[in-house]
């Protein structure tokens, strides 16, 4: 039995009156005045203490929780979890979603069906299975956006014990993008490396066997073969470096960079670095920068790699034009952008090759690419870096008219600087 504040006050008043009456009886002075005083004290207690709710309930409403009650709400528990979690009822309507879930699905709101936002058939089928009384289900799906992500949803029923069917379901979502990319990279690395390394390794083995046999004492042949062997070894080294770079970029493709980089200084630095190569090939590199510094959110080393690959390719493959134009500008195209353009005046690229230029190991002219030390990975690296920076890579070229490579990146304005 739980007492209210009124009940406690009435009992206290009656107990006090009884004790007073007992004392007066012992003294021989008990009378109507004593009875009137007892009745009056009970009436005053009832008037002053009007709350008839059980005391436990009153304390809970007032903010004082009983020791046995939980002080942590489900929303607080969900918010503490690092992985996205979504609670739905038996109709598939969102009941609660934690901050990690909102970051993954910004359009996901409570009191709306989950199917409005998450359209993956595997997830929806899993939810239906669970809500019909099935056990927990795991469903892997892909989220398409600026960068494709691979996710896994663990769907479990919410059972209350009041019926055979669950009252709803809980979805715990894990990001498997990095794990899947790592798996693909391992497979691709083995396949591509074994294919591309086979030719230079065969050449090295052949020359070594020749130097150990017929050309053992042929000094001229030895000098000539050693030069070729050095070139082949350098080609293998460049190939491995490019493969490792591409793998690292792909691993972080879904993680946008966070540093602020001044593009003009970066491009100028790389052109100065490549000046000896341009001089050796007889190519003039002309640079045109925006009148004011322009900034992007990016990884400086990766952006340097983009400029290096594009300018180096222009110097090597556009050599016949003897000129390369590089420019950095800003423009508005659905938003402020910083545009890096690299143009050469060489033989250009036939239109049928343009859609595949950024594929791994694709070469418009295999013999010329290998002769000039190309690995077939330069433009693939550029494309992946630009994608990670949420930018665009455009290529324009015609046979005999040179080629133009344009990189467009979202522009940022540092605090305290005018646009």
CATH of the domain at 247: 1.10.287.130
Q: Is residue 235 part of a domain?
A: yes
pLDDT digits (tens, 9 = 90+) for 261-270: 999 999 999 9
Q: Is residue 169 part of a domain?
A: yes
**Domain of 240?**
177-255
Confidence of residue 415 (pLDDT cuts 50, 70, 90): low
Confidence of residue 230 (pLDDT cuts 50, 70, 90): confident
Instruction: Answer whether residue 283 shows pLDDT above 80.
Output: yes
Instruction: Answer whether residue 73 shows pLDDT above 90.
Output: no
In 120-196, where do the E strands start and end?
Answer: 137-143, 149-158, 168-175
For residues 287 and 403, membership in a common domain is answered with yes
For residues 262 and 401, membership in a common domain is answered with yes
Query: H helices of 171-299, where?
Result: 177-212, 219-251, 263-273, 275-281
Instruction: Answer whether residue 349 shows pLDDT above 50.
Output: yes
CATH number, position 118: 3.30.450.20
CA atoms within 13 A on the CB side of 367: 0
CATH number, position 407: 3.30.565.10
For residues 199 and 245, membership in a common domain is answered with yes
Count of C-beta atoms within a 10 Å radius of residue 354: 15
For residues 83 and 24, membership in a common domain is answered with no
For residues 248 and 268, membership in a common domain is answered with no
- Cβ 317 vs Cβ 344: under 8 Å: yes
pLDDT digits (tens, 9 = 90+) for 299-345: 999 999 999 999 998 888 876 668 899 999 988 765 689 999 999 88
Mean pLDDT calculated for residue range 270-298: 89
Indicate the SS3 state at residue 198: helix
Which residues have CB under 8 Å from 156's CB, separation 6+? 130, 136, 169, 170, 172
For residues 277 and 396, membership in a common domain is answered with yes
Q: Is residue 51 part of a domain?
A: yes
For residues 15 and 112, membership in a common domain is answered with no
What does the angle CA 106 – CA 107 – CA 109 come to, to the nearest 5 degrees?
105
Q: Is residue 66 part of a domain?
A: no
359-378 exposure pattern, b = at least 16 Cβ within 10 A, e = fewer: ebebbbeeeebeeeebbbbb
Distance of CA 101 to the CA centre of its chain: 13
Element (H, E) at 92: none
For residues 153 and 188, membership in a common domain is answered with no
Q: Is residue 197 part of a domain?
A: yes
Q: Is residue 67 part of a domain?
A: no
pLDDT digits (tens, 9 = 90+) for 101-156: 988 888 888 889 999 888 899 999 999 999 998 889 999 998 876 677 889 999 99
For residues 78 and 152, membership in a common domain is answered with yes
Q: Is residue 240 part of a domain?
A: yes
For residues 234 and 249, membership in a common domain is answered with yes
Going by C-alpha positions, the residue among 227, 232, 225 that lies closest to residue 207 is: 225
pLDDT of residue 39: 55
Average pLDDT of the chain is: 79
Burial of 347 (0-12, 13-18, 19+ CB in 10 A): buried
For residues 100 and 155, membership in a common domain is answered with yes
The number of folded domains in the chain is 4
Which of 175, 208, 227 terminates a domain? The answer is: 175
Specify the higher pLDDT residue, 52 or 213: 213
pLDDT of residue 124: 93
- Cβ 364 vs Cβ 326: under 8 Å: no
Q: Is residue 249 part of a domain?
A: yes
Count of C-beta atoms within a 10 Å radius of residue 195: 10
For residues 192 and 249, membership in a common domain is answered with yes
Confidence of residue 67 (pLDDT cuts 50, 70, 90): very low
Which of 255, 273, 304 terminates a domain? The answer is: 255
Which of 255, 281, 313 terminates a domain? The answer is: 255
């Amino acid at each position: 039995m739980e007492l209210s504040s009124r009940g406690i006050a009435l009992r206290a008043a009656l107990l006090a009156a009884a004790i007073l009456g007992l004392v007066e009886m012992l003294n021989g002075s008990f009378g109507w005045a004593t009875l009137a005083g007892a009745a009056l004290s009970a009436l005053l207690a009832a008037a002053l203490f009007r709350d008839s709710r059980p005391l436990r309930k009153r304390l809970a409403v007032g903010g004082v929780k009983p020791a046995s009650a939980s002080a942590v709400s489900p929303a607080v528990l969900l918010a503490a979890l690092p992985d996205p979690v979504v609670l739905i009822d038996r109709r598939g309507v969102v009941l609660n979603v934690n901050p990690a879930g909102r970051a993954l699905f910004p359009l996901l709101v409570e009191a709306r069906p989950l199917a409005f936002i998450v359209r993956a058939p595997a997830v929806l089928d899993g939810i239906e299975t669970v809500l019909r009384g099935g056990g927990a289900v795991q469903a892997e799906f892909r989220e398409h956006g600026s960068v494709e992500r691979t996710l896994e949803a663990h769907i479990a029923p919410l059972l209350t014990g009041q019926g055979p069917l669950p009252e709803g379901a809980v979805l715990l979502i894990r990001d498997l993008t990095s794990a899947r990319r790592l798996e693909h990279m391992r497979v691709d690395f083995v396949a591509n490396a074994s294919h591309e390394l086979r030719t230079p390794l065969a050449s090295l083995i052949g020359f070594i066997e020749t130097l150990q046999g017929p050309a053992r004492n042929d000094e001229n042949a030895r000098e000539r073969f050693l030069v070729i062997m050095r070139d082949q070894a350098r080609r293998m080294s460049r190939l491995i470096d490019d493969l490792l770079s591409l793998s690292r970029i792909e691993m972080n493709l879904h993680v946008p960079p966070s540093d602020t980089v001044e593009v003009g200084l970066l491009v100028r630095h790389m052109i100065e670095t490549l000046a000896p190569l341009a001089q050796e090939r007889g190519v003039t590199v002309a640079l045109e920068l925006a009148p004011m510094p322009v900034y992007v959110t990016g990884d400086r080393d990766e952006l340097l790699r983009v400029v290096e690959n594009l300018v180096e390719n222009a110097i090597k493959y556009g050599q016949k034009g003897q000129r390369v134009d590089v420019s950095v500008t800003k423009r508005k195209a659905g938003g402020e952008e910083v545009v890096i353009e690299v143009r050469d005046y060489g033989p250009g690229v036939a239109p049928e090759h343009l859609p595949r230029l950024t594929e791994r190991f694709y070469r418009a002219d295999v013999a010329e690419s290998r002769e000039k030390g190309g690995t077939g990975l330069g433009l693939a690296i550029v494309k992946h870096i630009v994608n990670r920076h949420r930018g665009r890579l455009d290529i324009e070229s015609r046979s005999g008219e040179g080629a133009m490579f344009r990189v467009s990146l979202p522009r940022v304005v540092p605090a305290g600087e005018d646009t």
